[in-house]
């Protein structure tokens, strides 16, 4: 019944006028400009949150389009430094032409990661649909080969292959691996991915355990209470927590500006009360800050590809006091 209601809300929203979609999305998108994103981060700083900034937009049709994203991310780096923000970058490889020209895309991404490294900033490779999985992992491995360790990757638990990908990356990078595990926004075919809620939750928890056991840094990116509950228990079992340093013997790298081997990550505007509760208990919490000219396309895609967002939309409309960003 809840799923049906959620899909109905989404169906109505995506067919609504652009202004209404904009009104709904303002909760989940920082705005259309970098200035908007900076304002949101400064507001949330008071809650002890740190951030990862994403310039909206993804798969491009020509390599010339990469110039916009490269210049915008350079501006993001400057804004983070100038405003002394506790933030890093999230980039989509398809926005840098990874499906068009791998060699040139590597070159452009490397220039950005090197610039970020000069300012001690971290870069997260976002994971897109199944077409980009192998090549995105390839970007991660290649950047590390080129001496850039300030880069990590997102893996999507819903894909059947993800546990194998964790093992592969761990064998190559060891504790230098830096993961963000999420269930995955892309609704892939049942031939390659879990499609039901409980199997996705179970897969997310299995991936989380594997990442923690590998000694890697783990960004726990979930709003699902069963995952959060499992994560807290998994951390407790490994004597990990907000106090002190990472106790895992195979966690050889202590990262500046990060938590003791893990952190919790959430989307802007989603489960704010839960995020603040985790922060109050001392856990490092990071908020995903998307902004850019393509806010409308991003909002529609998220609604279509994840209909469960409909319940969050309805709650924001009907009971805004119960779900403060």
Arithmetic mean of pLDDT, 123-132 = 95
Per residue in 166-204, pLDDT (tens digit) is: 999 999 999 999 999 999 878 889 999 999 999 999 999
DSSP structure class, residue 119: T
**Mean pLDDT, residues 136-148 taken together:** 97
Please name which of 15, 54, 49 lies closest in space to residue 295, comparing C-alpha atoms: 54
Tokens describing residue 67:
């110039």
Structural domains for the chain:
1-28+302-325 (no CATH), 30-291 (3.20.20.220)
Query: Which long-range contacts (C-beta less than 8 Å, at least 24 apart) are formed by 158-163?
Result: 158/183, 158/184, 158/188, 158/193, 158/194, 158/195, 158/200, 158/203, 159/130, 159/133, 159/184, 159/188, 159/192, 159/193, 160/192, 160/193, 160/194, 161/133, 161/192, 162/203, 162/207, 163/206, 163/207, 163/210
Helix, strand and coil percent figures for the chain, each rounded to 5: 50, 15, 35
Residue-wise pLDDT tens digits, 193-238:
999 999 999 999 999 999 999 999 999 999 999 999 999 999 999 9
Determine the pLDDT at residue 2: 44
Beta-strand runs (E) in 215-269 = 217-221, 262-267
**Does residue 294 have a pLDDT over 70?**
no
Give CA–CA dist 198/221, Å, rounded: 17
pTM of the model: 0.88
């Amino acid at each position: 019944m809840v799923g049906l209601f959620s899909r109905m809300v989404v169906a109505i929203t995506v067919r609504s006028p652009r202004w209404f979609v904009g009104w709904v999305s303002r909760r989940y998108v920082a705005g259309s400009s970098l200035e908007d994103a900076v304002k949101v981060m400064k507001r949330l700083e008071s809650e002890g949150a740190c951030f990862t900034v994403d310039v909206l937009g993804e798969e491009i049709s020509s390599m010339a389009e990469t110039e916009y994203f490269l210049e915008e991310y350079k501006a993001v780096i400057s804004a983070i430094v100038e405003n002394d923000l506790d933030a890093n970058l999230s980039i989509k490889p398809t926005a840098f032409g990874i499906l068009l020209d791998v060699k040139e895309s590597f070159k452009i991404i490397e220039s950005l990661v090197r610039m970020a490294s000069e300012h001690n900033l971290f870069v997260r490779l976002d994971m897109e649909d199944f077409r980009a999985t192998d090549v995105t992992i390839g970007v991660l491995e290649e950047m590390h080969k080129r001496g850039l360790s300030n880069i990590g990757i997102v893996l999507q638990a819903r894909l059947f292959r993800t546990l194998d990908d964790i093992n592969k990356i761990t064998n190559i990078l060891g504790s230098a691996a830096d993961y963000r595990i999420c269930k995955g926004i892309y609704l892939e075919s049942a031939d390659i991915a879990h499609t039901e809620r409980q199997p996705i939750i179970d897969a997310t928890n299995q991936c989380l355990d594997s990442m923690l056991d590998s000694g890697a840094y783990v960004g726990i990116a979930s709003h699902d209470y069963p995952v959060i509950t499992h994560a807290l228990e998994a951390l407790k079992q490994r004597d990990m927590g907000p106090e002190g340093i990472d106790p895992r013997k195979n966690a050889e790298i202590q990262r500046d500006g990060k938590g003791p081997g893990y952190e919790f990550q959430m989307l802007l505007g989603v489960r704010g009360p839960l995020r603040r509760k985790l922060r109050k208990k001392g856990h490092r919490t990071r908020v995903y800050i998307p902004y850019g000219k393509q806010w409308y396309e991003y909002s529609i895609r998220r609604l279509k590809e994840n209909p469960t967002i409909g319940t969050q939309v309805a709650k924001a409309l009907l009971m805004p006091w119960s779900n403060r960003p």
